[in-house]
Every structure is written in structure tokens, then in C-alpha cells.
Structure 1
Amino acid sequence: MPRQSDIPIAFINSIKRDPKRGQIVATRDFVSELAKLNHFWSLRQANEWISYYQHSFRDFTDHEGDDRVYFMMNMGRIM
């Protein structure tokens, strides 16, 4: 049974290191981590959650669609 407390854990597990941008999160990685914890979200749902709860992350996707990439701004923190 999925728990709400699993969502931030999945987000933290989906964070990767990028030499140019620092910490980044791809929506597809976040959805994949959520699926491991029995949350089956669409890319759109994941993007909405990131934009609502993770104020330190900004979108820097260079293409159209719901498969986005976010980076942590300077001095940001994970909520």
C-alpha cells in the first residue's frame, strides 16, 4: 500500500549529480522511483508535485513535453 511519506523519499532517491548543474532530477527517474514504492504516477503528476513542493528546483528542459529535467538552485534545499 503506498504511503504519502514515500513520495519525498522517492524524490531524494531520484536526484543525480551533474558536473555543470549540480544536483538534477529527471521526471522519468522520479516516476521510476515512485513505482518502486507502489505509487504509479504520470509524468504530469510528478511535474506538478515537483513544482508545488520543491521550490529550490527549477526547470531547465530544452525540449517540449512532460519529461522534464530540474536542477537545484544555489543554496537550495530539499523539502
Structure 2
Amino acid sequence: MPRREDIEFAFRNAMEIDKSGRRVVTTSRFVEELHAVNWMWTMREANRWIELSVSTFKDVSTEEGENRTFALYNPNGGL
């Protein structure tokens, strides 16, 4: 049975460090981690949760579609 705290756990596990050293999360990776903890979300549902629940990441996607890329940013001076 899925637990609510597993969503944040899955989000943290989905974080990776890109070539420029930023912490990023892709929607597809987040959905994979959610499935591992018994949350069966679509990419649209995952994007919606990130938009509403995570204020320290912003969308830095370079392509259209549901598989978006979110990067950790510093509101006091940069990405």
C-alpha cells in the first residue's frame, strides 16, 4: 500500500547531477521512482505534483511534452 511520504522519497531518489553540476529531476525518472514505491502516476500527474509541492525547483525543459526537466535553483542568486 502506497504511503504519502513515499512521494517525497521518490522525488529525492529521482534527483541527478547534470553535466553542469546542477541537481535535476526529469519527469520520467520521478515516475519510475514512484512506481518503485507503489504510486502509479502518469507524467502529467507527476508534473502537477512538482509544480504545486516543490518550490525550490524550476522548469528548465528544452523540449515540448510531458517529460520535463526541473532544476534546483537558488532564489538568492542563480541556478
Q: TM-score, normalised by structure 2?
A: 0.90
Which runs of 5 or more residues in structure 2 are unaligned?
none
Cα distance in 2 for partners of 1:57, 1:75 equals: 10
Q: Please give the root-mean-square deviation of Cα atoms over the aligned residues, in Å.
A: 1.5
Give yes or no for the alignment of 1:70 onto 2:70.
yes
Note the alpha carbon deviations across 1:38-79, whole angstroms, 9 max, x for none: 000000000000010110100011111110000000269xxx
Partner of 1:30: 30
Cα distance in 2 for partners of 1:21, 1:43 equals: 25
Partner of 2:2: 2
Q: Secondary structure at the match of 1:65?
A: coil
User: How much identity, in percent, do the aligned residues show?
Assistant: 37
Cα distance in 2 for partners of 1:73, 1:34 equals: 23
Query: How many residues end up aligned between the 2 structures?
Result: 76
Cα distance in 2 for partners of 1:74, 1:58 equals: 10
Cα distance in 1 for partners of 2:75, 2:60 equals: 17
Runs of at least 4 residues of structure 1 off by over 4 A?
A: none
